[in-house]
Amino acid sequence: MPRWLTVAAFAAMLCAACLAGGAPERKAKPMLHVNGKPALVLGLYENPTDDARLKEAVAAGFNLIQCAAKPEALDRVGAAGAKAWVNLGGGLDLSTETAVRRGRLEGTVNSLKAHPALLIWEAPDEALWNCSYGPLGTLEETVYPAMHRAAEGRADFAPWKARIARTDDLLRRGLLDLAQAEREAFWRAIGQSDPAPAVRPDLAVKAAKTMAAGMAAGVRAVRAADPKHPVWFNHAPRNAVGALKMFNTEADAAGCDIYPIPFNMVNGHSDLVDTTPASVGAYTERMRIGAPGKLCFMVLQGFGWIDITAEPEKVKDDRIGRRPTWQETRFMAYDALLHGADALMWWGTAYAADKKEGGTKDLNTALWRDLLRIARELRALEPLLVAPAAAPGPKLTLEENPSSHDGAGLVSTLRQAGGKTLLIVANERSTGRAFTVSGLPAALEGKPIYRLGTTETVTVRSGAFRDGVRGWDVHVYATSRDLEP
């Protein structure tokens, strides 16, 4: 069971000014601070209905569970030895119906703020992205079909079909204002009413600015009622950095969900050029840039795309819809941490189930067991993972290789605490690479370094050692096997 937190101690470390009733301090930190010490937070969106599954998760090292805004839900999680986060939903946006929403928001906060299991408030999920994604989805599902129905059966259907295609083309070219004008002209010409006149992709940027101001006001209201608990914004793996900064103005923590497995042309969860497993690290960097000086929470993949689609036959091929492997699950966790994540959450475990006889579902999947395994591994490394990174760190030199990676692709960190040393090396490319680590501390000279999780050791000579790492894999080296789970 993990050591656990008191809300007051968490808040004292997160926002030094809270004791005086001021706003949280926003200095960059290597990790969350709990009970006066850095702590690693590992969270689950799933709140298991089965007590045994909940206890299993907590025992493995998960220490933050999403809860409904109900005292009894927090009671249960607290009794299991974990803490809770509560999503405040759209009520955090005070841009409209301000008085009514503020009253409801303050009511929710005041009803739970003293609960010993509460740790974090969350803003509505992916709110910024939904300013544009929502209208676009409605166009696809409602407006375009209505336009086609309005034109069908006419003797001159072809010209109307061409106008619909023109509207869609303008939209897909990013000319949102022209697409809207063409859409309005279509309905006027055909003599019917637009079934969704309020759906306006061309106003998405304006809507985002309005919502950002409303969210900022909502966070200030939460902070006024409860200065002890931080507010976290989870974004989609989309959005411009400027828009992220605008939305994160009052946030205490921000990050995004990113689910890149399997890496293929069908899974478009990342809209970066890099859509590989290493997009996790790339998005972690992007989220930190979009919320400078604030905590970074990253949401990782706890499902396969086949688990959440309404048409599983379209992703039944394992190359398209499969769940992450152990190596991929482990890589994504370390990749986020190496790029500065302060907390890791996993989404989708409630949907990742194997079929049993009789049509029942078995949630004890290989992926679930892998997540328990990575939680145990990271929890065992916690004392060093939360220690400051060595500066300057060791140098990694890659050997020449037939691949086109040109000497890039390895990321690493060196941490020391309690007389122990931890070195993590991750390969963010698809091909294996041989490398040399140099510039290691003099105290390691001539000593064996264990590659945790294996029987391998390396010995430091002249401040260096040589090894190789598979593509999209991680090596964890330490001076003590006590750091193994």
Query: What pLDDT, in 10s, does the model give residues 327-348?
Result: 999 999 999 999 999 999 999 9
Cα separations in angstroms, 315 against 113, 141, 266, 303: 43, 21, 9, 13
Structure tokens at 162: 């061409």
The answer on 123 and 214 residing in a single domain is yes
The answer on 247 and 174 residing in a single domain is no
Nearest CA-CA partner of 484 in 349, 378, 364: 378
Identify whether 389 is part of a domain. no
Is 252 within 8 Å of 294 (Cβ atoms)?
yes
Last residue of a domain, one of 182, 202, 222: 202
pLDDT of 454 = 97
Strand partners, 231: 121
pLDDT of 12 = 33
pLDDT band at 432 (very low <50, low <70, confident <90, very high): very high
Identify whether 390 is part of a domain. no
Is 8 within 8 Å of 28 (Cβ atoms)?
no
Q: Residues 379-402: what's their mean pLDDT?
A: 91
Residue 64: which residues within 8 A CB-CB, separation 6 or more? 41, 42, 43, 44, 82, 83, 84, 85, 119, 120, 343, 345
The answer on 419 and 289 residing in a single domain is no
The answer on 210 and 68 residing in a single domain is yes
Is 308 within 8 Å of 348 (Cβ atoms)?
yes
The answer on 87 and 178 residing in a single domain is no
Least confident span in 13-17, 86-90, 465-469: 13-17
For residue 100, count other CB atoms closer than 10 A to its CB: 11
Last residue of a domain, one of 322, 357, 383: 383
Q: Which amino acid is at 465?
A: F
Q: What is the pTM of this model?
A: 0.90
The answer on 102 and 249 residing in a single domain is yes
Cis peptide preceding 324, ω within 30 of 0:
no
The answer on 233 and 119 residing in a single domain is yes
Q: Which amino acid is at 423?
A: L
pLDDT band at 137 (very low <50, low <70, confident <90, very high): confident
CATH number for position 462: 2.60.40.1180
The answer on 429 and 376 residing in a single domain is no
- Looking at the structure of the chain, the number of domains it has is 3
DSSP 6: -
Identify whether 388 is part of a domain. no
Identify whether 1 is part of a domain. no
DSSP class per residue in 335-403: HHHHTT-SEEEEE-TTT--EE-GGG-EE---HHHHHHHHHHHHHHHHHHHHTSPBPSS--EEEEPP-SS
The answer on 144 and 223 residing in a single domain is no
Query: What pLDDT, in 10s, does the model give residues 260-276?
Result: 998 876 667 888 888 89
pLDDT band at 20 (very low <50, low <70, confident <90, very high): very low
Look up the domain containing 411 and give its range: 395-483
CATH number for position 121: 3.20.20.80
pLDDT band at 403 (very low <50, low <70, confident <90, very high): confident
